[in-house]
Amino acid sequence: MLNKKIIIKKLNSIVLLIILIFLGAYTSSYSQSTISQNELFDLRSKCHDLSVKLLNNSGQPQLNDPRFKNFWKNESSHFDTIKSRCYSKITHRWQNLNGVVVVNTTIQDAQTEKILVMFITEGSTVNNGHPDGHIFDPSFQGETNQGFTDAFNWAQKLMGDDY
């Protein structure tokens, strides 16, 4: 009976030691993967600058081009701390020759300038006037060109709180 108590105490000590080692390794790796608020601010600022650059390079129609009345464009950016990626949302809005307002949005990887998602929420001529969308992101798990809903949802996922 005495030997069982000693064995149980030793086992408890070993289990406690394993738990402490695991927690120490976990907190060590957690602290290495976190960044300071200053670093995060700097990364988000750089991400915004990349997004503004994409916006400025996204084109602008001629001032009096009748195909693009009331042309407007806007951007927002999101820095994903887990993937260390900068995403840019560029939206173009205009009124076409038929008076239909067209709103086209792209989500791009601002570091590579690759378009990951594109969708038209208004004025789509591709889908009988209904919203349409496409996903070009290779990390998306599923079929490509699955339509507006999937493209919109994937865009929201990429942009996180900054959508």
User: pTM here?
Assistant: 0.72
Ordered per-residue pLDDT tens for the chain, 163 residues: 556 666 666 655 665 556 656 555 444 444 445 889 999 999 999 999 999 999 998 877 777 788 888 888 999 999 999 999 999 999 999 888 888 888 999 999 999 999 999 998 877 666 676 788 999 999 888 765 578 888 999 999 999 987 6
Whether 94 contacts 71, CB under 8 Å = yes
pLDDT score for 61: 78
Whether 132 contacts 120, CB under 8 Å = yes
Q: Nearest to residue 96, comparing CAs of 133, 130, 70, 63?
A: 70
